């Protein structure tokens, strides 16, 4: 009997992520979004232009950044899922009918 068989847990990729959730680019997007929001809020409060529209405009970079890095089932996050959708709909795809054969040869013409 071979005792060198290992069972790999399903979350092994999670150890490669920062804080178990984020990739470095995710933290960069999140940090830039929060930083722009804080800077906009400070500038708008300093000049006294804080009405409803400008406050929503100032908070929108943080909301967009949080939306992009929010975890999404079966994908890493919403940014990854959106990238997969864009590449699926923009790349050229070839669908070839294989019939009911269990094996086939694919020849590109």
CB atoms under 10 Å from CB of 44, counted, come to 16
Whether 99 shows a pLDDT value over 90: the answer reads: no
Q: Rounded to whole angstroms, how far apart are CA atoms 66 and 69? A: 5
User: Regarding predicted confidence, which is higher, 75 or 46?
Assistant: 46
Q: 94 falls in which pLDDT band (50, 70, 90)?
A: confident
Q: Rounded to whole angstroms, how far apart are CA atoms 77 and 68? A: 7
Largest distance between two CA atoms of the chain: 76
The predicted pLDDT at position 48 comes to 82
- Which residue intervals of 48-77 are DSSP H helices? 52-69
User: Regarding predicted confidence, which is higher, 59 or 20?
Assistant: 59
The predicted pLDDT at position 93 comes to 75
18: phi then psi, degrees, rounded to nearest 5: -75, 130
The predicted pLDDT at position 100 comes to 66
Q: Rounded to whole angstroms, how far apart are CA atoms 63 and 29? A: 11
The predicted pLDDT at position 18 comes to 66
The predicted pLDDT at position 32 comes to 95
The predicted pLDDT at position 28 comes to 92
Cα-trace Rg, the chain: 23
């Amino acid at each position: 009997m071979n005792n060198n068989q290992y069972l790999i847990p399903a979350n092994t990729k999670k150890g490669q992520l920062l804080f178990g959730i984020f990739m470095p680019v995710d933290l960069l997007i999140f940090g830039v979004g929060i930083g722009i929001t804080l800077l906009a809020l400070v500038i708008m409060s300093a000049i006294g232009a804080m009405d409803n529209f400008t406050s929503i405009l100032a908070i929108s970079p943080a909301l967009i950044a949080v939306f992009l890095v929010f975890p999404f089932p079966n994908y890493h996050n919403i940014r990854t899922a959106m990238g997969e959708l864009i590449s699926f709909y923009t790349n050229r795809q070839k669908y070839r009918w294989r019939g009911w054969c269990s094996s086939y040869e694919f020849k590109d013409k």
